[in-house]
Each structure stands twice: as C-alpha cells, then as structure tokens.
Structure 1
Amino acid sequence: MTTFTIGTRGSALATTQTGTVADALAELSGLTAHTTLVKTEGDVTSGSLAQLGGTGVFAAALRVALMEGRCDLAVHSLKDLPTQQPAGLSIAATPPRVDVRDALCARDGLTLEELPAGSTIGTGSPRRSAQLKYARPDLQIVDIRGNVGTRLGRVKGSPEQADDGGVGRDAQGDLDAVVLAAAGLERLGLQAHITQYLDPTVMLPAPGQGSLAVECRSEALAEDTALNRALAELDDDATRLAVTAERGLLARLEAGCAAPIGALATLEADVLALDAVVCAPDGSDVIRRRATTTEVTDAGAAALGVALAEQLLREGAAELAGL
C-alpha cells in the first residue's frame, strides 16, 4: 500500500478539514494521500441510509462510501456525528482539538453585551439560540441556514462572501450578528469576522465541537500498516477522553446534535471535568452542572458522561428541554 484515499464533502470547510488530516497522515505514514469528492445526495441509496439507522445525510454519504470501499477514510466534524456508531465502522483517530468556543460575528465590532436591545442574531442551532435567549432575552434570534460564507453575508456591513456549494443566499446584510463555531472560521481563515469569542461560561459548545473524527472500516484497523500507525500517532489522548465524556452524556440523554444541550470536558493533571447545560428551547431556564473523575480512561470518560446525564435527568432535564 503506497497510497490512501480520504472521502470528503464538497464544502470549503469540509475540504479544508480533510486536507489538513490528509497532509498530517501522509507525513506520518510516508504514503501518498488522495481525496475523493463524495456527493451528499443522489449517489446515496435509500437502502444504504436505512442500514445506517437514520444518520444525517452528510455523514451517511461518507459512511456509505467507506463501506463500499470507495475511500479508506472519512473526516467528519465530530459535533455533527450521531452518538451511535454504525456496525463495521470505527473512529480511528481524533486529532488534537482546536478552539471549542462559539464566536459572535457582529456589525460594527460589537460584543454580545454591547448589542442594543432588539438586535437580530442569526443561528440555526437550538443550543445557541437557547443560550443566547437566556443571556440576552431582549435580543431577537433569527433561524438561518447556509454555509459559512452565506451566514457571514447576512451581517450588516459584512463584505459579500463567496458561496461554497451550500444553501444559496437569500438575504444580504439583514442581521446585526450571527454566531458560528470559532473552529470553522479559523480553519477557513475568516477569523477577522469574529468580534467576540463567547466564553463557555456564557455559551457551552456542542459536544465534540472543535474536534474532528477520522473514520475507517473496523476490519482495516486490525492490520499493522503504515496508515494505521499514522492514525494511532494522530490520535490525541486528551481530545479523545474529552469528547468521549461529552458524547457519553449526549447519548444517555438520548438527544441528537440539534438538542438544546451544551457540554465541554477538560483534562487537567489527572482529573477529567465535564460541564453540561440543558436549556429550555425558549431560553427561559437552564440547568447547568459539573462532574469530575480521576479515572482518566475511555471507560472512565464515558461513565462520567453517563453519570452527569443521570443527574441532569433526575433534576428535570428531559422535561425542560423537551427531550
């Protein structure tokens, strides 16, 4: 084996993320990396989607390509992956996590605190919407869709951004601000649009935010190959433990990536800490709790997530968030 193939979606963010992983694995393995574009619609049959158990169409298309052998690896934004792993596929590596925070991109350089009452903020995330409403109930939250360029173009005074193949732009300059993941903006070199990084004390990120997942066929991991050795080297222990705890919480709450739930785990010395928030969709109330463990193993991280989820459920999280 002298080459390997990574499947990618066609958006600018997806190809940038995939390229970063491909370059790292090529350097670590000495192999040549090739990327192949995987369409998110059209080439995905209903049978394949059913086999994947209702996975979102973007992840499903890449996973079908993996199972059919059209690529050796797929790179996902971990926060977009369902917590249930499909049979026959494994997450082979979680590269070092980048910025976990959400970012405010506002007109005139304004911060969340400085936005006037009645200002409009765009987001397509119930988690962000609920936490924004809780922090600033006097703002108007507008549901938006589209790729990063489209969303940035919605901010008043923002220079028009190039579309990258996502949902088409239907408005320009009609909002006072938008909220996006800092990691995506930074990966695309668009951090100049950020007017404020939102501290996790104000807005907890989505489980897995800022992290990538490199997925492969499970059977391929059993082999001692240059690619598998490179994947093991690319995998970051602290990142894997953190996202295992976060996704363990999400799985126990039986909530999808669109639920009004935030979670962030951090590893310091020999203690893994997990912060979580469950919100009423209208932002009227939140339950925010923290738990820690000194069992810094994959099993310990998963157990930490489950334990904190159990506490949240006992305190009414399901009723609050409508889970």
Structure 2
Amino acid sequence: MYRLLFSLVLSRMDPEDAHHLAFRVIRALPTLGFGRLVERFTAPEASLAVEALGLRFPSPFGVAAGFDKDGFAVRGLGHLGFGHVEVGTITALPQPGNERPRLFRLVADRALINRMGFNNGGADAAVGRLSRLARRAHRPVLGVNIGKSRVTAVDDAVGDYERSARVLAPYADYLVVNVSSPNTPGLRGLQELDSLAPLLESVRAAVGATPLLVKIAPDLADEEVLRICDLVVRLGLDGIIATNTTISRAGLRTPASVVEAIGAGGLSGAPLAARSCEVLRLIRGRVPAELCVISVGGVETADDVQERLDAGATLVQGYTAFIYRGPLWARQVNQGLARIRRERSTSSAALTD
C-alpha cells in the first residue's frame, strides 16, 4: 500500500513538502487519540529491550537526528515502534537553514542528498517541548543532538556548543555533539583533535550526569577514527555515533549528470552502508566493550540492523529508509529482529541437544 502511495503521490511531491506532510500526521497521533491504538500493533517485543547508557531502550532500533529537528513528534515516533528518538540538530541560536530546494531523492539508490543546514528553532525554544517530554513516563528514549550555530565563528564554537548543552542536557536522556554535518561551513574541521578535545571537555563539564556522545563523519580516514576513539575513552565520554552523511558520490546508480545538478550536500541511505559498517568495526575494535556505539547509515531491513548489532553496535539508528519504507518501517524491523532471535535460539538449542 505504501509503495503505491509513494510511487503515485509522494515521489511526485517536493521531498521536503512530502516530509512535512508525513511529519504532521506522525505528530498528530498522540493528540488525536490514535497513539495507543497504533502502539498495540507496533510495540516491540519485550525480548528486544536493550540496557545502555544507564537507560532501558524498548528496542535497539531508533530514529536518527534529522527527522524531528525540534522535538515535535517524539511521542508519535514512539507509537510507531522506534525505541529511541534523537531530535535535532538543535543549535544555540534559531536559524532557517539553507535555501530551498535542499532535500533531494535518489530513488534508484534508495538514498537522499540534503543540505538542510541545521534549520531549527534554537535551544531556548526547544526547552519547553523537551521538558514536557522528559516528565512523561510513556515515551521512547530521548536523545538530543546539538550543533554549531551558523553565525558563530568556528573559533567561538566551544561557547556555542556549551550553551546548547547547558540549556538542553537537563531534558535529554542522552546528548550528542554533532561535529560531522557537511552542511555547516567549518563544522567538520572540529573533528580534528586539537579542536575536538577542548570542545568535548567543555561540553562534558556542562552536561553533568547526562550521558554524552559524539557523532562522526564516514569520510574520516581510519587513523582519524581511531584517534577520536582514543580521545573519547580518555575524556570519559559515554559513546560514539557512527556515522553522519557522506560527501562522497562514489558508486551511485543515479546518472552523474543528475547528481551533479543537485550539487552539494550530505548523502545518506543505502550507498553509505558499507563505509558505515567499516567505521563501526574500527570503533568496536578500539574502544572498551561497555562504551555505547550507535551505528547509523544505510540501514533498511531487520537483517541490516542485526548485522550492525553482530558487528558490535549497542544501538542502531535509521532515517532515509523511512522515506522509502513508510510508517510501518520500525514495526517491520522489530518483527524481523524478534524472528531472527527466535531462529537463532532454536538453532542453538538444536545444537546442544
């Protein structure tokens, strides 16, 4: 049914307009009284629950930052079966983002290119919504992803992040420092250790007991990934999210002329899967077992999610495949994960007989 809707209607709409339409429906689920009814159909099996960051995640599968930039639809996304929702990226100052068009589908690649530019209402505006969410017992785990305000100079980035962290950390189950989006000038340079170490130290001091993670790019060299791992461990951070979107355009099925016409932006979706897995394995081989590693990039099916978990991911996030799979995506993944675990349990039991 959704494939037909996507093919006949949504794919013909501007991608950002289609996103806003779907977002309004998801946001309305709790207020229209349908949320609990939907949840009877979509709730993850209890066997999928994961303990991480001192929290209980109903499922290892959640929504990556970017889908809900300001925290308006967290409860609705939870009703659809996602175990956690990472909102943002939120900046200290409100900003409109880049000019439209800024979101593009690559249907042949099951991918997106975006150059949204951290469009959001700012940290102060998010406080009211997030504080109300934090007080609710029935909701998914809430992550908050923060980034640098576009008008803030790179040299002043530490203070900008520190302000967002101080304002938002009290209402987040975990906080993420995003230094890896390609759509804010100079941001990725903050992944260099000389810049990253003082940034993370300052944010760590500002957030208190709130678990703190850093989100990195897939375009880093392997040696850079390993150096960041060592820094995260040395500073006592709680985890790493790998990976953000890529600036690479290698191996796409979409004609090169179409891709060139789209221009700059971060590529997400299926083409990112291989590199995302590589980075995950690098990280897990370097950091202690108890460090939380969240894998994101090119995840679409339950088998994809299980592959990341088998490779050492603590949790897994997705976003782009939501566009192509539709509102029952989380349910499909959770059901698939439960089936895989039952099959493995049966096989294990047969081997021990």
TM-score, with length taken from structure 1: 0.29
More relative contact order in 1 or in 2 (CA 8 Å, sep 6+)? 1
Task: Flag the structure with higher helix content.
Answer: 2
Task: Flag the structure with higher strand content.
Answer: 1
TM-score, with length taken from structure 2: 0.27
